[in-house]
Amino acid sequence: MAQESGQNLFEIAYPLFQRINDNDFEYVYRGYFDHSITKKILYLADTSIAKVTHQAQATLQKRIYYIMVEGLQNITHHQEEIANDKEFEEYPGIFAIQKNGDKYFISTGNIVANDKIDSLKSKLDVINSLSPEELKKFHREILSNGNISDKGGAGLGLIEMSRKSGNKLLYSFEHLNDQYTYFYLQTLIPTDSTYGDVNCNGKHSSLESVKELHQQMNTENILLYFNGFFNQENLLSLLAIIKSRMNMPLTTIKISNVMVEMLQNIIKHGIRTADSAGTSGVFFLGQKDNETILTSGNIIPNEAKQVITDRLEFVNGMSKDELSDYYDDILLDFDTADAKKTGLGFSDLRIKSDRPLKYEFQPINDKEQFYLLQTTVKNKKK
């Protein structure tokens, strides 16, 4: 079953990868939200935004940051409201940031109790009906009324999200059961300050497509989806997120080690983006049947296909003992002190993986291939 789910990822990876242009990205985190994870998600997003925005756009970067904070706080508030409820585990929250050309999209999703929908919806509708000037006034009114009953109960966060983005808030409710509904909220932030433009050119960042992506992540139980440019900085951020996310120390160490090798492999060998923000690639971390499945995809030149295949077949063809001996040999082989030429990385992945390394090549054009690699680590409770 786990094999099949891994295969599904191979099928969805390239279409997802393809829809992201150079210097664009989309990251989705799905799961439990707490202070530590929120902080790391913000850091990951913020450093990535900094890579692709000009210094003159410092205000923009701040606004996006602010909207992300509000969005993430929304999720944690809703999460707290249903504390101790198994429902949240079953329907975890999501946070998505997408950059599509000159627009950013911040989307959040979480469950809310059915009896809260009406008031939430009316707040959103009021906010969306107001002009920027009216919104400002409304904001001031609420502040001076001191009418902030419970956590952001007056919708201050929502008002601020709308104000900072200069846009209406897009939302959607998906009925789950007689108690809960899934609530999606999306904010669009144009990089220039054109006001009130809710239409998005890029189809893939629409709220509908975020919902679709979420569906896929639910089906495959993906906790982390990262599509865009990879560099050492975001690798470290991703690592920090995983460290906070997992509550199984033993497995976390292994997953972190595997992740470093897989992502540094992309960074080193993949094809860099036009302005060298990093190397384009896609990465998923999912869990199924008590296993953690790590999947990466990136572009390689045709000539690399055979070399990679040979190396992967080589490490897959050995027993763990044989591989361990081989590892010793290459560790001591200094003819080439460069680890990338010796296959140390693949050997290490295979030693740490609980299944043979899975891979696939999908031809893109007559020069390049999309190269997918998958590593599986058994979850150990400890």
Partner 1 sequence: MEKFFREETEDSPEIIFDPEGGVFKISKISVPENALDFYKPVLDWIKQYAEEPNVQTQFDFDLEYVNTASSKQIIQIILLLQKVAEKGDVKVRWYYESIDEDMRTLGARYKKLVNVPFELVEIDE
Choosing from 110, 227, 348, 376, the residue that interacts with partner 1 (CB under 8 A) is 348
Choosing from 57, 191, 264, 316, the residue that interacts with partner 1 (CB under 8 A) is 264
In angstroms, what is the C-alpha Rg of the chain?
22
Both structure tokens of 201: 């050119």
Choosing from 99, 254, 288, 358, the residue that interacts with partner 1 (CB under 8 A) is 254
Distance of CA 235 to the CA centre of its chain: 12
- In which region does residue 303 sit, left (phi positive, over 0), alpha (psi from -120 to 50) or beta (all else)? alpha
Signed CA dihedral, 108, 10, 293, 315: sign only: negative
Choosing from 126, 156, 236, 304, the residue that interacts with partner 1 (CB under 8 A) is 236
196 vs 249, beta carbon nearer partner 1: 249
23 vs 252, beta carbon nearer partner 1: 252
Among the residue ranges 2-10, 95-103, 274-282, 344-352, the one whose residues contact partner 1 (CB under 8 A)? 344-352
Smallest distance from the beta carbon of 244 to partner 1, in angstroms?
15
Query: How big is the site for partner 1, counted in residues (CB under 8 A)?
Result: 29
Asked if 321 is part of the footprint of partner 1 (rule: CB under 8 A), the reply reads no
Asked if 249 is part of the footprint of partner 1 (rule: CB under 8 A), the reply reads yes
Distance CA 378, CA 382 (A): 12
Asked if 344 is part of the footprint of partner 1 (rule: CB under 8 A), the reply reads yes
Site map (CB under 8 A) of partner 1, residues 193-232, x = contact: ---------------------------------------x
Q: 176 with 111: CB under 8 angstroms?
A: yes
159 vs 285, beta carbon nearer partner 1: 285
Beta strand 279-288 with 103-113: parallel, antiparallel or unpaired? unpaired
Scanning residues 43 to 62, which ones bind partner 1 (CB under 8 A)?
Answer: none
Distance CA 248, CA 250 (A): 6
- Edge-to-edge strands of the sheet including 279-288? 170-175, 180-190, 103-113, 93-100, 25-31, 222-230, 279-288, 291-301, 368-378, 358-363
Asked if 267 is part of the footprint of partner 1 (rule: CB under 8 A), the reply reads yes
Measuring CA to CA, which residue among 343, 352, 356 is closest to residue 380? 352
Q: 209 with 184: CB under 8 angstroms?
A: no
Among the residue ranges 105-113, 129-137, 171-179, 322-330, the one whose residues contact partner 1 (CB under 8 A)? 322-330
Asked if 36 is part of the footprint of partner 1 (rule: CB under 8 A), the reply reads no
Binding site for partner 1 (CB under 8 A): 232, 236, 249-250, 253-254, 256-257, 260-261, 264, 267, 324, 327-328, 331-332, 334, 337-340, 342, 344-345, 347-348, 352, 382
